Structure 1
Amino acid sequence: MTNTTDGPRRSPVRRTAVALAGAAALAGLAGVYAPSPAYAGPHAAATDFSDCPALPAGVDPARWRCEVHTAAPLLTIGRVTVTLAPITMTHAEGPMPDGTAGQVWGAMHSTPTAVPGGLTGRAADDHGRRRLAIRPEYGGRSDFYTGRLSLRFRLLSPLLPKACTVGASTPVDFQLKRSGPSEWISQDPPLIRFSAYDDTFTAPAAEDCGPLTAPVNRRLGLPAASGNLMAYDATYTFRTYDQLPRS
């Protein structure tokens, strides 16, 4: 995932992680998962690997790992800034039979985050029928070796249709870049912290919001070609497929 530079230089765990994820010198994303800040030390052993995807045919399970990461990103999209509720993502990566780098998407889980000011921008509308929340959803594209990830952002309110989404037709594409070295919190089980960001992405307009589509976009300042930010502080853990519990 990330090109980790911390931790004991001779650690077998570290050598394995770097060997499998060295190509991800990206922004620190080629494997990002683990339950939020409290997720450290012995808690890492309780990571849920149930979303680990099936491996491609012919690969060596001992050389493929399932990575689980969690982040609570700071998101500025248009004129709104929120710290998103934790996102957990799972994917697998490792060498293909021909030696090329492979990866398989697993799953993403997230919950809504309230947008201060609701649909109007007034504090009085933080609650009630004019409240507004945003929930990130997987946008169908990911490359954890290079830090590329696409997301959609569902807009939730009693006054909006369920389909109301930023990036409904064209997902928001992120190219995450590392903002510092990774840090090994634990070697056994492995738990690694990293930070990444993207301040160059374009935020499209919200779509499928019914009669409120135009007011919602005015409220959020969308579409926005610049001034957007995803600051992505995360932790992740992993297991090779030969170490996963048998179902």
Structure 2
Amino acid sequence: MKRIVTALRRGRLATRAGAGAVAAALALALATAAQAPALAQPAPARFAAAPVPTPESLAPAYADCPKDLPAGADRAKWRCEVSVAYGHLKLGRIDLPDIKPITLVHAEGPLPDGTFGQVFGSLRAEPTPVPGAPGLSVRAGYGGYADFLNSGALDLRFRLVSPLLNRTCAIGTDDAPVGLRPTRDAPSTWLSQDPPLVRFPAHDDTFTTPAATRCGPLGRAVNQRFGLPAATGESLIAYTAYYTFRTYDRLSAA
């Protein structure tokens, strides 16, 4: 059966500034570490040490459920899905063994012609501090494309948050995002039936990572320090994801 994929809106990104002392520390770290040896690439061990959410703890994210469904969509068959991922992210030599949770919201369901469709809702994440680089954090954001029905593909941009870098500084752009194509490491496990809660592990170590751009005067130092751009095999994401869902007829009544 043919499936239709739609991506309607981009996630919102924001930055936070730190104190002047933190900024100076970051400048020193970048200046002195440009020739630092490459960090050993971690084995693709699957992230398992994650807190287990509950359907109730994920419920506030239903506020981001897409409001506009395709014409003729049956609200009793379309569902809004909320997922949260905990894991390990490595972008070149930026190694984040415990990233802040990434929360995704989207809708999916059958279309009147018998095909299936999806509508993107939101991607939210808090900044994760970069070890060894005081004042620098990485924040994941939506890159403009997602296919949750077929390949599991997800395009991301990673904002580099620091008082010394431009607010636009990011790894990945609208035209050239970081394209993830995760592989599931085990079948999904139902932890609860009503309300539903499903868990699955996944990883991707096949993507390339572009250089950071629009960072300002320190952009070159950032890329040298963290080995960007990075070729296939030099980056990694490994995570455990949990998701819950409600059909739209139940969502409006909740």
TM-score relative to the length of structure 2 = 0.75
- Which residue is 1:223 aligned to? 229
Identity of aligned residues (%): 54
Aligned partners of 1:157, 1:242: CA distance in 2, in Å?
A: 43
**What letter corresponds to residue 52 of structure 1 in structure 2?**
C
Secondary structure in 2 aligned to 1:162?
Answer: coil
Instruction: Decide whether the 8 Å contact of 2:61 with 2:105 is kept in 1.
Output: no
After superposition, the C-alpha distances for 1:118-157 in whole angstroms (9 at most, x for unaligned) are: 1xxxxxxx3xxxx210000000100002110000000011
Q: Deviations over 1:181-235 (max 9, x none)?
A: 1111111100001111111000000000111111000111100012211112110
Alignment of 1:70-109 (within 5 A): 70-82=84-96, 83-109=98-124
Contact 2:138–2:160 (8 Å) recurs in 1: yes
Question: Out of 160, 164, 188, which is 1:159 matched to?
Answer: 164
Structure 1: which 5+ runs fail to align? 1-22, 24-35, 119-125
> Which amino acid in 2 is paired with 1:167?
G
Q: Tell me which residue corresponds to 1:135.
A: 139
Structure 2 residue runs of 5 or longer lacking an equivalent are 4-49
CA contact (8 A) 1:139 1:150 kept: yes
Distance 1:113 1:151 in 2: 15
Aligned partner of 1:179 in structure 2 is 185
Question: SS of the counterpart of 2:118?
Answer: strand
1-structure distance, mates of 2:83, 2:216: 35
- C-alpha displacement at 1:44, in angstroms? 5.1
Partner residue in 1 for 2:75: 61
Runs of 4+ in 1 over 6 A off after TM superposition: none
In structure 2, how many angstroms separate the alpha carbons of the residues matched to 1:111 and 1:211?
25
1:112 is matched with 127
CA distance in 2, matches of 1:98, 1:176: 29
Within the candidate set 191, 196, 203, 1:190 is matched to: 196
| Partner Cα distance (1:232, 1:57) in 2 | 35
Partner Cα separation in structure 1 for residue 165 and residue 172 of structure 2: 16
Q: Is this contact kept in 1: 2:58–2:82, CA < 8 A?
A: no
User: Which piece of structure 1 moves more, 169-178 or 197-206?
Assistant: 169-178
Q: CA, structure 1 residues 214+165, in 2 after alignment: closer, same or farther (shift >3 Å)?
A: same
The match for 2:242 among 214, 235, 238 is 235
Give TM-score, length-normalised by structure 1: 0.77
Root-mean-square deviation over aligned CA pairs: 1.7
In 2: Cα distance, 1:162 partner to 1:188 partner: 43
TM-superposed CA distance for 1:48, in Å, is 3.2
Structure 2: distance between partners of 1:79 and 1:45: 32
